[in-house]
Amino acid sequence: MESKSTAIYEAEQIGHYLLSIPIHDSEKNTYIDAMQKLNIPFSNYEQALWNSMLKSKFKMACIDAGLALKDPNNNARRKLFTMLAILEASPNYTQYFLSRNFSFFYLFKIGAVGIRAVLRAMIGILIVNNIKRKCS
């Protein structure tokens, strides 16, 4: 398991990627606890993916998107998934997870997010392939 400061940095990066806001200390601490208890194993390839994801929110989004299509059960995604669950189970972020009602921008928003997701996946697949080539 990595050091506490590394885990806090990871928690901040993932939280920012998932919700686009800074997250509270309580969720960072829960993430540290989760990483200790789950002890998610990383292969060299997964470690390389993870290092790259931590470099920027953009890379994290693209690699996550690429893996979602190519290798959804990759352990690098498991860290993101764990944080997603932690954020959902906190009253601080409830409004980010409860169902949303119809609004004027509703269909526009779905369309825009959908297009962004596809673009991220396209770039992500290239990055993932590149990292895989380097690791093999």
Between residues 22 and 136, which has the closer beta carbon with respect to another protein?
22
Contact set for another protein, span 19-58 (CB under 8 A): 19-20, 30, 34, 37-38
Give 102's contacts (C-beta < 8 A, 6+ positions apart). none
Residue 97 found at the interface with another protein (CB under 8 A): yes
Between residues 73 and 136, which has the closer beta carbon with respect to another protein?
73
Residue 9 found at the interface with another protein (CB under 8 A): no
Binding site for another protein (CB under 8 A): 17-20, 30, 34, 37-38, 61-62, 64-65, 68-69, 72-73, 77-78, 80-82, 84-86, 88-91, 94, 96-102, 106, 109-110, 113-114, 116-117, 120-121, 124
